[in-house]
Amino acid sequence: MNKIGIFLSGLGLAMFSSISWAQNSVCVFDLLGKSGESYKFLEEWALNTKTWGNAVKLVAYQDEAKADQDFKDGKCDGVYLTSMRARYYNKFAGSIDALGGVPSNEIAKKAIAYVLDKRNNQRLNSTLNQQNYTVGGVAQIGTAYIFVRDRKVNSIEHAKGKKFAVLHYDAAQKIMVERIGAIPVMSDISNFVRKFNQGEVDIIAAPAYAFKPLEIQKGLGNQGAMIHFPVINVTADLILNADKFSPNFTSQSRQWFVKQIPKNFAMVQRLESDIPARYKMTLSKEEKEKYQKLLRDGRIELTKQGIYNPTMMTVLKKARCTVERTNFECSIGGE
């Protein structure tokens, strides 16, 4: 090849490289848009991507359904969603948020680190409708606690007949609400707290992340309470179009997320401590065990239905019983 041919070939490669570089975009869901903690967290991630072979442009969304749909439509190469919605792409990672499966931050740390370990590389890949997906990271949003407009609703029995907002795309929530005899009210992540604050529902489950920005105290008023019992551990998953990112990029992305675990949980603990103590209500030992048994039965049923990943259920049980060996479930099978 003559010098002109070599020059043109090199120019073509450079142009192709720059086009690929510019096309990598990630849709990021955060209730607060660019001012939210999740978006700021992804900004730090994006700064590091240049050293992994891709520059990434973030696009903020305050509507999670829109972010998800734009990703499906190919308008972005990756998407950052709550795992309840991201479970569609990967049940293994998405099952960290199984009802009652992760009752403490200590177990949540272990679960996230385990999921992103290289031994699970294959489990983090999936193919849906001839499209290849991979999990680029998992981050903690926080434990979801039950908020009630009337603190007299302090037991499973008292929840019967009460209206409970559930995310319409998460079958697990609807099934569990029905199991306790409450009335599920189909909602979205963008409006479930508003329904609570306006009295359209009596009960919601939400992490501390939502307390201040969504003004949950308005729904609590003088009679409401936050039942200090972990129902769901809420995480966010970074789902990538596997054909747009190299395996090396994905591997380094996961490693970055693991390194952020201490910082991530420090943020969660700060937000939880910001909730005024006057709203917090603890359950009796007997009530806690009732909830634990109810959630356990629900997890087993939902796993049989294919909603939760069975391998992850086994991993989470081992983690729970390592931390709390005397728990009733540790002497029985089923998960």
327 — pLDDT class (breaks 50, 70, 90): confident
The predicted-structure confidence for 68-109, as pLDDT tens digits, reads as follows 999 999 999 999 999 999 999 999 999 999 999 999 999 999
Strands 78-82 and 57-61, bridge-based pairing: unpaired
According to CATH, what is the number of the domain 144-233+278-329? 3.40.190.170
Q: Is the pLDDT of residue 17 over 50?
A: no
Determine the average pLDDT of the residues in 9-24: 44
Q: Element (H or E) spanning 125, and its range?
A: strand 125-128
CA-based radius of gyration for the chain:
21
pLDDT in tens, 58-79: 999 999 999 999 999 999 999 9
User: How is residue 62 annotated by DSSP?
Assistant: S
Residue 244's identity, in one-letter code, is K
**Strand-pair category, 25-29 with 280-281:** unpaired
Residue 14 pLDDT greater than 70, yes or no: no
Give the right CATH number for 11-141+235-273 from 3.40.640.10, 3.40.50.800, 3.40.190.10, 1.10.10.10: 3.40.190.10
Closest by Cα among 194, 303, 247, 232 to 83: 232
Q: Taking the domains of the chain in order of start, what are their residue ranges? A: 11-141+235-273, 144-233+278-329
Handedness of CA 113, 118, 123, 125 (dihedral sign): positive
Name the pLDDT band for 18 (thresholds 50, 70, 90): very low
144-233+278-329 and 11-141+235-273 share a CATH fold: yes
Q: What is the largest CA-CA distance in the chain?
A: 85
